[in-house]
Amino acid sequence: MKAIYPGTFDPITFGHLNILEKAAKMFDEVILAVADYTAKQNYFTLEERLEQCKEAAKGIPNIKVISFSGLVVDFARQNNCRILIRGLRAVSDFEYELSLALTNIKLSEDIETVFLVPSLRYMYLSSSMIRQLAELDGELKDFVPPHVIKALKERVRGG
């Protein structure tokens, strides 16, 4: 069975990778789907996020990293997939994620959302927190892979 783990991954964190590793153990194939459209201002371009995700996920078996645009349910149908993976960190995530899952069901009744909880050490991680840490020159090694640290530092310096 195949699953899709969609998101902006701006940037990808160890929390995302923890969810991805869990999903990879549960499904035959997991597509890490990097969203083109987001309702927020992206820190990195789609191409940069895609490359960061490919590098971060290269050691996890049965993972395919690709970008998509449009509705995730349409992307799932195009890839013959009926399962979406979403991570839940806290109660505050639940309301948003439930709303998203219910909207996706309304758009496509044959697609289900599976919620996975990250390991305790990643429960508080968010991409926006990582971006703020980078801008304030905080230590990042416990939160994101080395290649993402490098990209964040370059972005903060204006690169």
In the chain, the domains with their CATH numbers are 2-156 (3.40.50.620)
Catalytic status, residue 89:
yes
Over the stretch 41-72, which tens digit does the pLDDT of each residue have?
899 999 999 999 999 999 999 999 999 999 99
The pTM assigned to this predicted structure is: 0.94
The predicted-structure confidence for 2-53, as pLDDT tens digits, reads as follows 999 999 999 999 999 999 999 999 999 999 999 997 677 899 999 999 999 9
Given the residues 54, 89, 131, 147, the one annotated as active site:
89
Please check whether residue 7 is in contact with residue 33, taking contact to mean a CB–CB distance below 8 angstroms: yes
The burial class, CB within 10 Å (0-12 / 13-18 / 19+), for 116 is middle
DSSP, collapsed to helix, strand or coil, labels residue 130 as helix
Residue with structure tokens 């948003």? 96
Whether 67 is catalytic: no
Q: Considering 22, 49, 86, 127, which one is annotated as catalytic? A: 127
Does residue 147 have an active-site annotation?
Answer: no
